[in-house]
Structure 1
Amino acid sequence: MKTRAVLSFVLALFLAGCASTRAYDEKITSLTGQLDSLSGKFKLAKKENLNLKRELLLFKKDQDVDTHRFIAAQEVFETDFAEDIKSGDAWARMTDRGLIITIDAEKLFISASDALSDTGKQFLDKIAGFIDRSFAANYIYIEGHTDNQSLAVFEWKSDWEFSFARALNVLKYLTEKRSVDPLRLSASGFGQYRPRAANDTKEGRKSNRRIEVIVSAQKIGDQVKHKDQ
């Protein structure tokens, strides 16, 4: 009886040891698998991080090139349009939107009308030439603005319509008479709601009646390239 009891005890220990060994092996196998998986993910993340760094460097390089190009273009504008800048008829400034060319409405339009004057057409010819030389493929946004008294003077239904009509006529002239690619252009009107100055003085109201031509850093090819990627 004692011998049988001892054998039973030894057998139980052996079986327990086998079970413990299997559990240990299974745990080792599981942990090894998790480690391999994490190692693979780490290598993939490291590769993606390297690719992102390369893209960032290329982006910064492109941005630097664009910044220098815009600064150079502004200098060209200030030379070519020196008389207009001096008289207050036009000026240019760099913003996060791009190069903004502001033009006094009196320089472009017949008084109390959205129709371009002969002087305005000549001025737009000059603007078109500048854009063609400096920004052959950039998007261009044309925005119309008024003062807060336009309705009383010009008898339009709203400042929105009047400012948009003026911006649209600038766009039409550039596309129809100067052959600027219509894919690059858009027009919008903001009425009296984005003033540059207070409307309580004659000078302030004159400053607010304007057309702004915004040359964006984005180019036509940028969207196509992004879509292909």
Structure 2
Amino acid sequence: MSKKRHEHHEEHIDESWLIPYADILTLLLALFIILFASSQIDSKKYESIMKGLNAGFNGGTGMFEVSNIVPLNVSPNAEKKKEDETKKEDKTQDQNSQQDQQLKAMFEKEAQDLKELQEKLEGYIKDNGLTTQLETKLNEDMLKITIRDNALFQSGSADIKPESQMLAQTISSMLSSYKEFNVEVSGFTDNRPINTREFQSNWDLSAKRSLNFMKFLILNDQIDPSRYRSIGYGEYQPIDTNDTVDGRAKNRRVEVNILRQLKASGAKSFIP
């Protein structure tokens, strides 16, 4: 008896459900991307992602259209924080503007005060026939008063002549009306060497002359000595040639420099 061979037919599982399942997973992935992007405050970045998804899934427009979408999970304090930062920036700008205006006003007042002091000195020089012995020069850094040495000292001496003490007193009196300025008194000589028991070099002579003249200025109790200093330059900063008598006479001098507290660059002068 022949046995009937039953052929075993393998059953195939219906996998058609994978297609919608894959679509659902794709949509879920897209949804999570949207949620992640919308949680960021950067709206430009969010819009860029949405446009990219639209282009990928719908040819550019469709279910991910973002023109009317409001970003999700935006912090309720974000707008207030942004507003506070804007106000803070505006306040800082206002303060900087006020400081700039104050500095400008101070700078202009200094210039006006020094111009006024120069006019007083020029009037005194003219009225007393001192045009060959004194001169003034005003620039953005200081008012410079230049005094020939023979108007103050005997040759080779650092003692102020008795007849010149009135000149020193007058300058001191004028300076006392402008207390806010710092003052530097500088001494200079020509290049002819000196070697005496009192002065071994031109350094010593110029330093002693500037110091003595400064001491005379601050005898006025209306002057603040902490704003004054003296310095000797010897022969090393001539303003004319040392080859002529007139040139050497110009180089032997004392300078009183009334310094501006605020220079054009905003820097302070030597005393804080």
Write out per-residue CA displacement over residues 202-226 of structure 1, whole angstroms, 9 at most, x where no aligned residue.
001001100001112329xxx8xxx
- Please show how residues 49-64 of structure 1 align to structure 2 within 5 Å: 49-64=93-108
| Secondary structure of the corresponding residue to residue 218 of structure 1 | coil
Aligned to 2:130: 85
**Residue 115 of structure 1 is aligned with which of 145, 151, 159?**
159
**Cα distance in 1 for residues equivalent to 2:258 and 2:41:** 63
Aligned to 1:25: 38
Question: By how many angstroms is 1:3 displaced?
Answer: 4.4
Cα RMSD, aligned residues only: 3.0
Would the alpha carbon gap of residues 39 and 197 (structure 1) be closer, same or farther in structure 2, given more than 3 Å must change?
farther
Q: Whose strand proportion is higher, 1 or 2? A: 1
**Residue 106 of structure 1 is aligned with which of 133, 150, 158?**
150
Question: By how many angstroms is 1:192 displaced?
Answer: 1.4
Aligned to 1:65: 109
| Secondary structure of the corresponding residue to residue 111 of structure 1 | coil
Larger Rg: 2
Question: By how many angstroms is 1:150 displaced?
Answer: 4.2
**Cα distance in 2 for residues equivalent to 1:97 and 1:162:** 27
Contact 1:144 1:164 in 2 (8 A): yes
Q: Whose helix proportion is higher, 1 or 2? A: 1
Contact 2:187 2:254 in 1 (8 A): yes
Aligned length: 217
Contact 2:195 2:201 in 1 (8 A): no
Write out per-residue CA displacement over residues 25-61 of structure 1, whole angstroms, 9 at most, x where no aligned residue.
234468678x978876655444333322222222222
- Residue segments in structure 2 that go unaligned for 5+ positions in a row: 1-13, 46-73, 263-267
**Cα distance in 1 for residues equivalent to 2:213 and 2:228:** 10
TM-score by length of 2: 0.69
Contact 2:179 2:224 in 1 (8 A): no
Aligned to 2:59: none
Between 73-82 and 41-50, report the one with greater CA deviation: 41-50
**Cα distance in 1 for residues equivalent to 2:208 and 2:24:** 99
| Secondary structure of the corresponding residue to residue 17 of structure 2 | helix
